[in-house]
Every structure is written in structure tokens, then in C-alpha cells.
């Protein structure tokens, strides 16, 4: 009798537990487990380091007067300049240049082309200062308004210095693949430059000196 009573109580207890469990599952809500957030992998940008530029140039020239009184003739002539370059890193680049100044000339026209090593240093994330050290050919055509024209062509060392400012902003496009990208003018987009370049010093029969000043816009790829 005691065993039957104990067994009945055990069965009733188990039945109650099962019933409560079924009821809890039937009346409750099933919650989907939340997925762990997946971080997006930022895009990697690697600018080419290639840039091109177009600008305006003012060519200042002075030479001995053929009149024999020891005076110097001076001329300021205007024109255009094109440049193309490659930045190997944030400290050194290579640049080719061509310029022609033949507008508003008094007695001279200047043409120059050359290839230059370009040491540079970024003073701000968007600004570079740079030097130009290289070899070029400068041709000066003279017109003395008397029908007698002459020309001076000289090849040799040429140097200069300048500054460039970059308007490009790649920071929201991803991360740079190289450490120097994004500094100075090392990112995709437009920029401006201004510089001075020395072409000739006491060259030719009349000790001709030539210096140019240029400003322009540039595009970095």
C-alpha cells in the first residue's frame, strides 16, 4: 500500500513537471540568437605616384648690350609650361618639363626642356616643398627689330625650387597601401604649384642669364 502511494505521488510529480514545461514553451516566445557584428574590411588604395601639370610661365632674361657701353638689356616674356612626374616615395621623385615663352616679348623668346631629380618634403599633409636638380636645354631666339635675328642654344645643369598644394582627399575611400601615400601631394586629385627655375647663367657671346617663374594646376593619379 505504501509503495503504491509513493509511486502515484512520483507519477503525479513527473506529470506536473512535463505539463508545466509544455505550457511554458507553448506560451513563450522563441528568440533568435543575435549574430555577432561583422567588421567591414577597408578598401586599400595605392595611388600610382604619377602626376601631370599645365601652367603659365614668366621668363626673365638679361644680356649684355651689343652697343658696347657695358649696359644690360632685360626682357620678360610669358608663355606656358607642361610637366609630368613620378614620385618614388615622399622624399624623391623624377620630373620632365617643357616650357615656351614667346608672348609680349621685346627682343627674346625662350624655350626649354629638361629632366629633373625632385627631392621633396611634406610640411603638411597636403603641402610639399621641393627642389629641382637636373639637365636641360635652353634656346633663346633674339630679334633686334632690324631684321638681324640670332639664337643661343645651351645645354647643361639647371636647378629650381617650389611648393605644391594638394586639394585631393582620399581618406574616406579606404586605407593607403603605402606609408607615404596621402602625404604632401601623394593622393589622387587636383592640386596647384608655384616654383622658380634657373636656366642660364652668363652663357653665350653676350653673357645671357635666364630664370623662369611658373604657376599651374596639377593632377595626381
* Residues 47 and 177: beta-carbon distance below 8 Å: no
Strand, helix or coil for residue 14? helix
Structure confidence at residue 33 as a pLDDT band (50, 70, 90): low
Which residues, other chains included, contact 214 with Cβ-Cβ below 8 Å and sequence gap of 6+? 55, 56, 57, 58, 81, 99, 162, 193, 194, 195, 197
In tens, the pLDDT along 89-129 reads 888 999 999 999 999 988 899 999 999 999 999 888 788 99
Which residues, other chains included, contact 103 with Cβ-Cβ below 8 Å and sequence gap of 6+? 77, 78, 79
pTM as predicted:
0.73
* Residues 175 and 186: beta-carbon distance below 8 Å: no
> How far apart (Å, rounded) are the C-alpha atoms in residues 60 and 4?
122
> How far apart (Å, rounded) are the C-alpha atoms in residues 212 and 221?
27
Q: Which helix (H) or strand (E) holds 95?
A: strand 92-103
Average pLDDT over residues 27-47: 61
List beta partners, residue 72: 64
pLDDT: is 90 or 15 the higher one?
A: 90
Q: How many CB atoms lie within 10 A of CB 2?
A: 6
Query: Is the confidence at residue 13, as pLDDT, over 60?
Result: no
In tens, the pLDDT along 156-181 reads 999 999 999 988 765 555 555 555 55
Structure confidence at residue 193 as a pLDDT band (50, 70, 90): very high
Percent share of the chain, pLDDT over 90: 48
Q: What cell was used for 8? A: 502515484
Average pLDDT over residues 48-57: 92
pLDDT: is 39 or 32 the higher one?
A: 39
Domain range annotation of the chain: 50-220
Structure confidence at residue 74 as a pLDDT band (50, 70, 90): very high
CATH code of the domain made up of 50-220: 2.40.160.20
Amino acid at each position: 500500500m505504501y509503495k503504491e502511494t509513493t509511486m502515484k505521488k512520483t507519477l503525479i510529480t513527473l506529470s506536473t513537471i512535463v505539463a508545466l514545461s509544455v505550457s511554458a514553451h507553448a506560451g513563450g516566445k522563441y528568440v533568435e540568437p543575435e549574430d555577432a557584428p561583422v567588421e567591414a574590411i577597408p578598401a586599400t588604395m595605392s595611388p600610382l605616384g604619377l602626376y601631370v601639370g599645365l601652367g603659365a610661365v614668366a621668363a626673365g632674361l638679361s644680356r649684355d648690350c651689343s652697343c658696347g657701353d657695358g649696359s644690360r638689356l632685360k626682357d620678360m616674356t610669358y608663355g606656358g609650361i607642361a610637366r609630368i612626374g613620378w614620385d618614388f616615395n615622399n622624399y624623391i621623385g623624377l620630373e620632365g618639363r617643357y616650357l615656351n615663352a614667346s608672348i609680349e616679348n621685346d627682343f627674346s623668346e625662350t624655350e626649354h626642356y629638361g629632366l629633373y631629380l625632385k627631392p621633396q618634403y611634406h610640411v603638411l599633409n597636403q603641402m610639399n616643398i621641393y627642389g629641382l636638380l637636373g639637365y636641360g636645354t635652353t634656346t633663346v631666339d633674339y630679334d633686334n627689330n632690324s631684321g638681324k635675328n640670332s639664337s643661343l642654344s645651351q645645354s647643361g645643369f639647371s636647378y629650381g625650387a617650389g611648393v605644391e598644394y594638394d586639394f585631393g582627399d582620399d581618406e574616406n575611400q579606404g586605407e593607403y597601401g603605402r606609408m607615404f601615400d596621402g602625404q604632401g601631394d601623394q593622393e589622387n586629385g587636383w592640386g596647384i604649384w608655384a616654383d622658380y627655375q634657373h636656366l642660364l647663367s652668363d652663357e653665350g657671346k653676350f653673357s645671357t642669364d635666364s630664370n623662369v617663374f611658373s604657376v599651374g594646376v596639377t593632377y595626381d593619379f
